[in-house]
Amino acid sequence: NAGVTQTPKFQVLKTGQSMTLQCAQDMNHEYMSWYRQDPGMGLRLIHYSVGAGITDQGEVPNGYNVSRSTTEDFPLRLLSAAPSQTSVYFCASSPPHSGGYTFGSGTRLTVV
């Protein structure tokens, strides 16, 4: 059982480049979320999904897109990377109405 798998683990981008952070879970969880973590700011929700085909914005959605075509996958796209998007990104999944999220190991992204 792999849990929540995020790729890549590390990435350096130049300003203006685009990329997709991958997230896959094998627990058949309906809920999936993307967070970013910056020093002293805890986890801030970017986008979330409560099922395939359903996504919604979180606290800090600007500059990011998501889609949820399958239960297993929830990719996060950076449209045009900016230095302010330098952060650690976590994907998480949960059964519905649970609160007990399983987190991936994170992607450390640096935008130069």
Partner 1 sequence: EDKVVQSPLSLVVHEGDTVTLNCSYEVTNFRSLLWYKQEKKAPTFLFMLTSSGIEKKSGRLSSILDKKELSSILNITATQTGDSAIYLCAVPAGGTSYGKLTFGQGTILTVHP
Residue ranges binding partner 1 (CB under 8 A): 31, 33, 35, 40-45, 48-50, 56, 58-59, 90, 92, 94, 96-106
2 vs 96 by CB, closer to partner 1: 96
CB of 100 to partner 1, least distance (A): 4
CB of 7 to partner 1, least distance (A): 14
18 vs 105 by CB, closer to partner 1: 105
59 vs 77 by CB, closer to partner 1: 59
CB of 42 to partner 1, least distance (A): 4
Contact (Cβ atoms closer than 8 angstroms) between residue 97 and residue 1: no
Q: In angstroms, how far apart are the furthest CA atoms of the chain?
A: 39
The number of angstroms, rounded, from the C-alpha of 60 to the middle of its chain's C-alpha atoms is 12
Q: What is the helix, strand, coil percentage profile of the chain, to 5?
A: 5, 50, 45
CB of 69 to partner 1, least distance (A): 18
Alpha helices by DSSP H, listed for 1-112, are none
3-state SS, residue 85:
helix
